[in-house]
Amino acid sequence: MSQSDQFSGRMGLIFASIGAAIGTGNIWRFPRMVGANEGGTFLIPWLIFLFAWSIPLVIAEFALGKRSRTGTIGTFRIFAGKHFAWMGLWTAWISTAIGFYYAVVAGWCLKYFQLGVSNGLVGENVDTQLVWNEFLQSPGSVIFFQFLVIAITLLAIWKGAKAIEKVNVILMISLFVLLFMSLGLSLWMDMADGSLDGFLFMFTVKWSSLSEPSIWINGLSQSAWSCSAGMGMAITYSVYMRKDEDTTLNAFTMGLANNSISIIAGLTVLSAIFAVSDNPLDTVTNGSSAITFLALPEVFAQAPGGGIGAWVMMSGFFLALSFAALTSMISTVELCVRNFVDHGYEREKSVLLTSIAILIFGIPSAMLWITIAPDGTAFPQFLEVQDHIWGYGLMFSGLFIAFTIWKYGYKKWRAHVESGEAAPGLSGYLGVGVSAFRDDFINTGDNDIWIGRWWDLLMYLAFPFLFTILIVSYFGDMITNTPNVWHPTNPHGITIILLFWGVVAGGFILLNKKLIQRPLFRNIPEGADVDISMLPGGDDDLVCEVGEYPAGWEHLAEKTEA
């Protein structure tokens, strides 16, 4: 019997990857970014970068994972080469480190769903700031909901791909329904005062602002973050793909679905706020995640239909938010678990270990250093610092994926030059090297959408350019606006980021050698054979399929059977 695992069908994969992509970023970050970046003006860069950044990267991820049939570490080990397995470890670590505090954030959403259901946010005496501050300052409560999130996640992924699929399908469909319901109520609210301000604002381009770099940079980062492009999610889920799965169509579907949800959520939030608030822009732009938990309950409490409307709006919206967070949490844990399983660890053990780790390492974010901002709103500064440190690590995960593709193209071109099939000059490289990955792994015949030369252009030219812009503007902004930016104990400084990144990357590079001494078990569903010799890492004796054991590692099989 094969020990491999796979999704039951195409829809399973689609829903799982959409679930991974859609998270709190779509529902609370997107409306805020639209508000802060001149409304409709923001939609232009945001849409362009969906096609110029997110989808191409996701295509690459799907193509990589589908062939390697391993998690991030294995994928980099096979595709980028033995010496670069640490890149996969980095990718896994960034996702997991974000997962530490993301579980806490998902817990907030659950808590607000509970408050919404129990009518804890409606009424004359409810001060939403007070509710939020009290909640955040009671560690027991925060950790309880964090635990709840992790427990649900653990149950969802315990049994592997099929269970993940089922949970995602249910949660995503519910999310669509709930969001549409909320949108309806929102638009109703906004219409009540005679004008669709929220709609007008969200879809009006201020042409003079279109030349402002900050809007483009924010459009790019929103697109990169909310789609989870480069995070390794798509690599992980494509391990469970069936043989003839189409990587490109999946990528387009995932990206477009992600943005669809963003628009619906954006319209819901903006319409509601513009309907009620005296200065809606203030409400939308002035803050961070806390806005979701302060402003929206206030706004939703004024939903049409009296108490019932408010109840439906409140619980519906926060349930949708919780679902979005949960599905992202599931993919985060699965990404980590997959890497353990690839290296011969039992699935149940790995799930348990990862969940416990996420619980324990999330606790500091849940309870440490809860600070009151000048406007009186509590915020978790420890969590914020974690986000500050690890958030931009995602950029490098994306860079590593691009690197893998560049490297594959270069190697293939060199091989062809040696065998006389390609010209040694630039023209040879452009002819064979640049398109190598696309020719060999994307346009395989299984794909409904044929990917043209534009993808090469984006991966080789646009990606490094945009990557540089993002990194330079992020750090440049920090240097100009943060006092004491180089001081190592400044939690908002640069040194602390570079220090953590340096230690992590350095440690991973040092440990690379040990990592590649372990066997790597590829999850290849029946009929989906991809011969390892076709892949760059074909000379790695320790790479085998699930159920096989390389020489010297037979004891693992005994252990499994025992």
Partner 1 sequence: MSFESRQSSLAILLLPFLLSFLSPMVSASVEQSEIAAEEQTDMEPWDQWDQDDEGKYIFCEYNSEGNAECDYLFPWGGDEQMQFKEYHSYETMKARMLRLAADNSEFMQFHEGLNGGTNARGEQTTSNNYEGWYYGHGSPWLKITGNVEGGVTNTFNGDSGNYPDRPDVMIVGNHHAREWMSYETPLLVMETIAYYYGKGPIDNDGDGLIDEDPWGDADGDGQIDDDGDCLSLAAEWQDSNGDGKPCNPGDFGVDEDFSEVELTNLVNNREIYLIPMLNVDGNKYDREVWVGNNCDGGEAWENGCATSGWRKNLRDNTVTGVTPIPDPDEAVDPACDGVDLNRNYQFEWGAPLGATGPLFPGMCYAGEAGPNNDVYNGPVDTTDQDDDGRLNEDHVDGKDDDGDGLLDEDWMGGNSEPETKFIQDLTEMNDDDGDGSSDYKTTLTYHSFSELVLYPWGHCTNCQSPDHEQLIYHGDQMATMTDYTNMQSSDLYPTSGDFCDWHYGVHGSYCYTMEIGTAFHQHQDDVDHIAVRNIGVAFYMAEMADNPRERADLALANVWRNQILEQPSQLVIPASGSIPVEMCLDTAFSIDYADSASHVMYRMVKPSRSQSDYGPGEWFSEDWSSVGFESADDDCELLNSSGTGYKIVAYLPIEDTANGKLHYKAMISTLSGTQKVEYPQNSQYYEIKIDYRAPFGSLFGSVMLFMTVAVFVWGGLGVCLRMMMVDPDEVKYLDDVSDAILDAELSEEDSS
Site for partner 1 in 60-99 (CB under 8 A): 89, 92-93, 96-97
What is the smallest separation between the CB atom of 56 and partner 1, expressed in angstroms?
10
Q: Which of residues 460-479 bind partner 1 (CB under 8 A)?
A: 477
Distance of alpha carbon 258 from alpha carbon 244, whole angstroms? 24
Tell me the backbone φ, ψ of residue 378, rounded to 5 degrees: -75, 145
Tell me: does residue 48 bind partner 1 (CB under 8 A): yes
Site for partner 1 in 121-150 (CB under 8 A): none
In the region spanning residues 394 to 413, those forming contacts with partner 1, defined by CB under 8 A, are none
DSSP state of 51: I
* Alpha helix (H) residue ranges in 368-443: 381-390, 393-418, 426-428, 436-437
> Is 383 one of the binding residues for partner 1 (CB under 8 A)?
yes
Among 124, 194, 514, 531, binds partner 1 (CB under 8 A): 514
User: Is 223 a residue that touches partner 1 (CB under 8 A)?
Assistant: no
Mapped onto helix, strand or coil, the DSSP state of residue 243 is: coil
Of 120-128, 313-321, 366-374, 541-549, which segment contacts partner 1 by CB under 8 A? Answer: 366-374
Closer to partner 1 by CB, 119 or 285: give it.
285
Closest separation between CB of residue 418 and partner 1, Å?
35
Pick the stretch among 173-181, 211-219, 314-322, 537-545 that binds partner 1 (CB under 8 A): 211-219
Shortest separation between residue 353's beta carbon and partner 1, angstroms: 9
Give which of 164, 182, 302, 186 is closest to 239, Cα–Cα.
Answer: 164
263 counts as binding partner 1 under rule CB under 8 A: yes
Cα gap 32→34, rounded to integer Å: 5
Among residues 373, 472, 479, 534, the one that binds partner 1 under rule CB under 8 A: 373
As a whole number of angstroms, the distance between CA 414 and CA 194 comes to: 67
- Residues 147-176 touching partner 1, rule: CB under 8 A, are none
Whole-number Å distance between alpha carbons of 420 and 433: 14
Output the smallest distance, CB 419 to partner 1, in A: 33
In angstroms, the CA 180 to CA 23 distance is 16
* Contacting partner 1 within 519-538 (CB under 8 A): none
Question: Which structure tokens are listed for 154?
Answer: 């653990």
To partner 1, the closest distance from the beta carbon of 522 in angstroms equals: 17
Stretch of residues binding partner 1 (CB under 8 A), selected from 167-175, 183-191, 198-206, 433-441:
198-206
* Choice from 375, 526, 529, 548 touching partner 1 (CB under 8 A): 375
Report, in angstroms and rounded to the nearest whole number, the Rg of the chain calculated over CA atoms.
Answer: 24
Interface pick for partner 1 out of 491, 494, 509, 545 (rule CB under 8 A): 491
Residue in 7, 14, 69, 273 binding partner 1, rule: CB under 8 A:
14
97, 99, 105, 109 alpha-carbon torsion, rounded to 10°: 170
Q: Which amino acid is it at 273?
A: I
* β-pairing verdict for 520-522 and 543-545: parallel
Window 240 to 259, contacts with partner 1 (CB under 8 A): 246, 249, 252-253, 256-257, 259
**84, 76 in Cβ contact below 8 A?**
yes
Name the pairing type of β-strands 520-522 and 378-380: unpaired
Position 7 contacts partner 1 (CB under 8 A): no
Expressed in angstroms, the distance from the first to the final Cα of the chain is 16
**Distance in Å, CB of 174 to partner 1, minimum:** 18
Question: Which residue type, as a one-letter code, is found at position 108?
Answer: W
**Choice from 34, 60, 78, 105 touching partner 1 (CB under 8 A):** 105
What is d(CA 357, CA 93) in angstroms, rounded to the nearest whole number? 12
DSSP 232: S
